[in-house]
């Protein structure tokens, strides 16, 4: 009999829910792997002090049901408000939002900006797959120009949103963008927001094009897609910013007090009056 050691990530997952229901080649698996590696390297034994909050969409299934932790699978677009509620009521827990571009950059964009403005102490991972994958690949606010989708059958023409630039302009403590091809950097960013910068609003955008509704329609395999992502991205610290490139890197890294600390100070003042 051959003894096969369990993959290290299994202790962070609800094993009875595996295999996942994601499409063949879906990059959500790479993000789960990056999260697991980050937890492992930080020496986190289990996720009982974590609460994951997600919305409606493919990436929202990453925590619900696959990650073994408390999780709230909320209404479409409302992951951030629910996360705020949990964090304010139980500040000792690490609250992590995982949701897609439809959730966070479209229907829930207002919540995202206000949470970042307030520097609320939560981690937000936006999985940008360029489309509404769960509802069959309609155009989203982040779809690159020219792509054909069921609601832009002649190719998109709307300007897409650079969500990292938006969040950078608020009071968020941490803003980074990586593609799914930048595995190590992505994992290190996840470690950053859980160990290096542990307060305030921390935001990571992960570019992970939908295999089924973006890449495959363009005739690309997952491997082609990863190679293209590496080719098409450019580090933020280089001066030669080019159009049609995906700027990746850490956009912002600060350690200002987050909302929870500011509110505690506010309570202290209220009690004195």
Partner 1 sequence: MRRALLTGNEAIAEGALVAGCNFYVGYPITPSSEIMHYMAKELPKRGGIFFQAEDEIATINIAIGASWGGARVMTATSGPGFSLMQEGIGYAVMTETPLVVVNVMRAGPATGQATKPAQGDLMQARWGRHGDQVTPVLAPESPQECIELVIKAFAISEELRVPVIVLIDEFIAHMREVVKIPDKVKIPSRKRPKDHSQTPFGSPDPKIAPPMPPLGEGYYVLVTGSTHNERGYRDTRSFETHFKLVKRLWNKIWLNIDKLFNYEAWGIEDLEVSFVSFGSISRSVKKACRILRDKGIKAGYIRLKTLWPLKLEPLIKLSERSKIIIVPELNLGQLILDVERAIKSNVKVISYGKVGGGEPIYPSELVKLVIEVVKK
| Minimum distance from residue 102 beta carbon to partner 1 (Å) | 16
Q: Return the closest-CA partner of residue 52 out of 23, 82, 19, 11.
A: 82
| Minimum distance from residue 96 beta carbon to partner 1 (Å) | 13
Please write down the long-range contacts of 29-33, taking CB distance under 8 Å and 24 or more positions apart: 30/180, 30/183, 30/208, 31/59, 31/62, 31/98, 31/125, 31/127, 31/180, 31/186, 31/206, 31/208, 32/62, 32/66, 32/67, 33/9, 33/183
| Minimum distance from residue 78 beta carbon to partner 1 (Å) | 4
For residue 97, count CB atoms less than 10 angstroms from its CB and return exposed for 0-12, middle for 13-18, buried for 19 or more.
Answer: buried
- CB-based contact 249:237 (threshold 8 Å): yes
Q: What does the DSSP 8-state code read for residue 98? A: E
- CB-based contact 123:167 (threshold 8 Å): no
Minimum CB distance to partner 1 smaller for 3 or for 89: 89
Residues found near partner 1 in the complex (CB under 8 A) = 14, 17, 46, 48-49, 51, 53, 64-65, 68-75, 78, 80-90, 92-93, 110-111, 114, 263, 266-267, 270-271, 273
Strands 138-139 and 94-100 come out as unpaired
| Minimum distance from residue 57 beta carbon to partner 1 (Å) | 12
| Minimum distance from residue 76 beta carbon to partner 1 (Å) | 9
| Minimum distance from residue 254 beta carbon to partner 1 (Å) | 22
Minimum CB distance to partner 1 smaller for 93 or for 234: 93
**Rounded distance between C-alpha atoms, residue 81 and residue 36, angstroms:** 25
Phi, psi torsion values for 49, nearest 5 degrees: -95, 10
Minimum CB distance to partner 1 smaller for 103 or for 188: 103
3-state percent helix, strand, coil for the chain, nearest multiple of 5: 40, 20, 40
Minimum CB distance to partner 1 smaller for 183 or for 263: 263
| Minimum distance from residue 94 beta carbon to partner 1 (Å) | 9
Minimum CB distance to partner 1 smaller for 222 or for 257: 257
CA atoms within 13 A on the CB side of 140: 30
Scanning the structure block, which residue is given the tokens 């200002």?
Answer: 256
Minimum CB distance to partner 1 smaller for 27 or for 52: 52
Minimum CB distance to partner 1 smaller for 241 or for 272: 272
């Amino acid at each position: 009999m051959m003894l096969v050691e369990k993959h290290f990530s299994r202790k962070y997952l609800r094993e009875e829910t595996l295999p996942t229901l994601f499409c063949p080649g879906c990059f959500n698996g790479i993000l789960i792997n990056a999260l697991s590696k980050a937890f492992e390297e930080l020496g986190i034994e289990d996720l009982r002090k974590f609460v994951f909050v997600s919305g409606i969409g493919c990436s929202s299934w990453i925590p619900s049901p696959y990650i073994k932790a408390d999780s709230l699978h909320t209404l479409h677009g409302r992951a951030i408000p629910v996360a705020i509620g949990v964090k304010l009521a139980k500040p000792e827990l690490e609250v992590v939002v995982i949701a897609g571009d439809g959730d966070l950059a479209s229907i829930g964009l207002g919540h995202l900006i206000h949470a970042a403005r307030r520097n609320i102490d939560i981690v937000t991972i936006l999985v940008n797959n360029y489309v509404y994958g769960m509802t069959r690949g309609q155009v989203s606010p982040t779809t690159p120009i020219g792509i054909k989708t069921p609601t832009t059958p002649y190719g998109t023409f709307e300007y897409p949103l650079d969500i990292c630039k938006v969040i950078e302009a608020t009071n968020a403590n941490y803003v980074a963008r990586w593609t799914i091809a930048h595995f190590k950097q992505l994992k290190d960013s996840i470690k950053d927001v859980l160990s290096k910068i542990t307060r305030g609003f921390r935001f990571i955008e992960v570019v992970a094009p939908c295999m089924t509704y973006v890449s495959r329609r363009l005739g690309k395999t997952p491997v082609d897609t990863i190679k293209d992502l590496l080719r098409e991205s450019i580090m933020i610290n280089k001066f030669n910013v080019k159009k049609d490139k995906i700027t990746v890197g850490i956009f912002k890294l600060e350690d200002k007090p987050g909302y929870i600390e500011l509110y505690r100070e506010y309570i202290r003042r209220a009690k004195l009056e």
